[in-house]
Structure 1
């Protein structure tokens, strides 16, 4: 049985946990909270164990049972809060990465480590698809901390021989996220459709980003771990296609049957231009064909409609 440990039980951590358990894997989640009730979910043919704790502190307990791979799905702050507390964001991200790598180096150096980075925060907008070999140009504290996390992962790979990998993930959607997070264009569009409140539109709406449904993200990540291949240090995970913000609003409006009004927001460098990732490296490692934007948004709309806790909105 494949055994993995997830650091963090948030949006991505919980999705990976459930996806791994449904493959029959044994999954341990380390987190100080369980916002999506992951430990109470049906694990299917696999198993889910929850260890309450901060950062890498409970990791030795997980490693005692044997761990094939660790996925870092936590650390630092969300993009918007990071701008007001850049030092805290850097400390939160880098202290977790370093503590975890040191723990693995001393207790289980054969365990693979995967760091979930951010393509949208690390790459600068450009007309061409962004490849892993191109220079990163973060424009926010959140992007800087992710980029430095990648560098520490590369350091432990280069100097200490650990199997460390960074996944540069695009804009992942599929769950209605709290509006306070300051991220998630698709989620924000759904909030506007459900509540009738205007969507804050930065720029003219023609700027485009790469949007990946969370189920496809889970498939790609777990397939990479299951491949048994010697993975590169950095791998893009996305769809390879940019979609305009205006197209997202149209798709959400069509899927929900609710019109979305917009209100102008301040222009920012991070909200301009076009950004999508090249998938050549990913597709050389696994077979991967993600669903299109409209199909993903329709799936999300059906999931939201089936969620009884949202009926009072």
Structure 2
């Protein structure tokens, strides 16, 4: 693996770009903005090139460079805003997925395409670990667009022979996200710890979810691409362990020396039950031992203390 293209320069796109460059890979990022300033970050032995604009329109330029893989990290709205604009969310996600697949089919059919889907949005909560073969039961427009995006990836794999893959990622954390996104339980807990403002608690706090540190997410994604294996169409990426929202608040409080107050928020379909993913398929392809929640949150706390995030977000 030497050349990759990332569609989207947000939280996950920027993390993947830096991770790839530090492995010595040449990385092109196509995005409408550079919110995490990857242009100003030392890329290590690799190279990062940022192209500003539309992913579908600019992709042909990058495919001329013998790109090994494309990772789709953008498309649609975030989970909460998607409820207010379901059509826009679907159009944003599916036009991107279909447009990119059509471009690759025409210009570079040997290039892998990886779509970052969402385990939390696609699977229904359950006390059992979720397998890739389990049916998708989305309860939000965001989840619906991710699930249909997966189906389009499978269509291009089955009908046109493209190497398309969907990664069902759990809740990824590791840096403070803007509070306006309405996304990121761990990030929201850190904001409350840093500002003293109450954490908005949806549900009773006992619901469990699978949380993975962004460094582990990057490692898993890039190791899958580097494995040289014929990857399956859908792969779970997580830790395989569920942690409650109360666990998150306790861990962030301990890591920051804070007591986090809570305030009740409106309930939604996604605020109940338990959800963690099975990693058997992932571990059949690569060796993978992610950080546990406490260790990951301590790492995030150290990085926040070193960077002074309140000045930039």
1:5 counterpart residue number: 5
Secondary structure of the equivalent of 1:210? strand
Secondary structure of the equivalent of 2:114? strand
User: Can you give the 5+ residue segments of structure 2 that lack an aligned partner in the other structure?
Assistant: none
2:305 counterpart residue number: 305
Cα distance in structure 2, aligned partners of 1:69 and 1:221: 11
Q: Which contiguous aligned blocks of 4+ residues in structure 1 show a shift greater than 4 angstroms?
A: none
CA distance 1:312–1:60, change in 2 (3 Å): closer
1:292 counterpart residue number: 292
Cα distance in structure 2, aligned partners of 1:185 and 1:257: 18
After superposition, the C-alpha distances for 1:240-296 in whole angstroms (9 at most, x for unaligned) are 000010000000000001110001112222010000000000000000000000000
Secondary structure of the equivalent of 1:114? strand
Cα distance in structure 1, aligned partners of 2:235 and 2:312: 41
After superposition, the C-alpha distances for 1:13-44 in whole angstroms (9 at most, x for unaligned) are 00000000000000000011000011221110
Secondary structure of the equivalent of 1:56? helix
1:128 counterpart residue number: 128
Aligned residues: 313
Cα distance in structure 1, aligned partners of 2:208 and 2:224: 27
After superposition, the C-alpha distances for 1:161-185 in whole angstroms (9 at most, x for unaligned) are 0000000000000010011111100
User: Can you give the 5+ residue segments of structure 1 that lack an aligned partner in the other structure?
Assistant: none
Tell me which moved more, 1-10 or 145-154: 1-10
Give the alignment's Cα RMSD to 1 decimal.
1.1
Given that 2:213 and 2:296 are in contact with CA atoms closer than 8 Å, whether structure 1 keeps it comes out as yes
1:117 counterpart residue number: 117
2:164 counterpart residue number: 164
1:84 counterpart residue number: 84
Q: Shift of residue 308 of structure 1? A: 3.1
Tell me which moved more, 1-10 or 248-257: 1-10
Cα distance in structure 1, aligned partners of 2:312 and 2:61: 42
Q: Shift of residue 124 of structure 1? A: 0.5
Cα distance in structure 1, aligned partners of 2:77 and 2:175: 19
TM-score, structure 2 as length reference:
0.98
Cα distance in structure 2, aligned partners of 1:135 and 1:65: 38
Given that 2:176 and 2:309 are in contact with CA atoms closer than 8 Å, whether structure 1 keeps it comes out as no
Cα distance in structure 2, aligned partners of 1:308 and 1:194: 11
1:173 counterpart residue number: 173
Is it true that 1:99 corresponds to 2:99 in the alignment?
Answer: yes
Q: Shift of residue 311 of structure 1? A: 5.7
1:200 counterpart residue number: 200
Q: Shift of residue 309 of structure 1? A: 4.5
Q: Shift of residue 312 of structure 1? A: 9.2
The 5 A counterparts of 1:1-313 are 2-310=2-310
Secondary structure of the equivalent of 1:5? strand
Cα distance in structure 1, aligned partners of 2:234 and 2:260: 37
Cα distance in structure 1, aligned partners of 2:42 and 2:307: 17
Secondary structure of the equivalent of 2:143? helix
Q: Shift of residue 157 of structure 1? A: 0.2
Tell me which moved more, 85-94 or 261-270: 261-270
CA distance 1:311–1:35, change in 2 (3 Å): closer
Cα distance in structure 2, aligned partners of 1:90 and 1:308: 36
